[in-house]
Structure 1
């Protein structure tokens, strides 16, 4: 049997981080808007809003680094649950339990007030300056290289 789901979309709100009562295990929940591949009769593209749950360390990372509007790719399994509401009716709930989440937004495209700053990712300001000055690794392509005969392996 196979139960795998792969989605790419944007968060509709900030992740909500909670911890289980009995073990203190982290769980983050958020809704992902996934655009459909086709337009409706009015020429507008519609989206599906899918409930996502993430557990443990990945949940804490999602809560720390993702926010409303973040673009993510995720992989997980589809889970369907049911319960009885206060009127005695059975209510069905469908969600994706993600075990992999890839953050697709670059840190440079984010503003400073959303926890994506380089200091939060373990970079110092000096490392950031060095990183920016070396952004184009191909800037010397097509220019002559200064090599001596001692540098050649043959």
Structure 2
């Protein structure tokens, strides 16, 4: 039986989206989404917030970059992806992110400036 790898988030963008271009003009957008749960701990209501790394590729990345801003409420669908990196000291570290294939802005967007332009790697190196 095939497995299911599905991620769905509704939360606030908590880091300004960063668009960059890989060789071959492949667009990559990275940002963070914070989700907050309201739970009871020892009878006391508390909040627990998780921050999730989200990545978008190609056309979706460029479209999203024109619309997404820090603080906006967003719905994101995608799949979990975990990358492993090994340091020079042979220490492994793992990073899990959501590779998004769909998003929808929720709530008001008129309060956000949409005039920010992407930075290409060649421009950033100057």
What number of residue pairs does the alignment pair up? Answer: 112
Gap regions ≥5 residues in structure 2: 116-126
What do the CA deviations read for 1:67-97 (whole angstroms, capped 9, x no partner)? 1101100100000110102332001110000
Larger radius of gyration: 1
Q: Which runs of 5+ in 1 are unaligned?
A: 117-154
The answer to whether 1:115 aligns with 2:114 is yes
For residues 89-115 of structure 1, the C-alpha deviation after alignment (integer angstroms, 9 at most, x for no partner) is: 00111000000010113334x25xx11
Q: Which has the higher strand share?
A: 2
Aligned partner (choices 83, 94, 97) of residue 95 of structure 1: 97
- Give the 4+ runs in structure 1 shifted more than 3 A: 39-42
Normalised by the length of structure 2, the TM-score is 0.80
Equivalence for 1:138? none
1:11-26 mapped onto 2 (5 Å cutoff): 11-21=13-23, 23-26=24-27
Task: State the partner residue of 1:28.
Answer: 29
Q: Which residue does 1:54 correspond to in 2?
A: 56
What is the root-mean-square deviation in Å for CA atoms of aligned residues? Answer: 1.7
- Residues 75 and 98, structure 1, Cα contact 8 Å, conserved in 2: yes
Structure having the larger proportion of residues in helix: 1
**Which of residues 51, 64, 75 is equivalent to 1:73?**
75
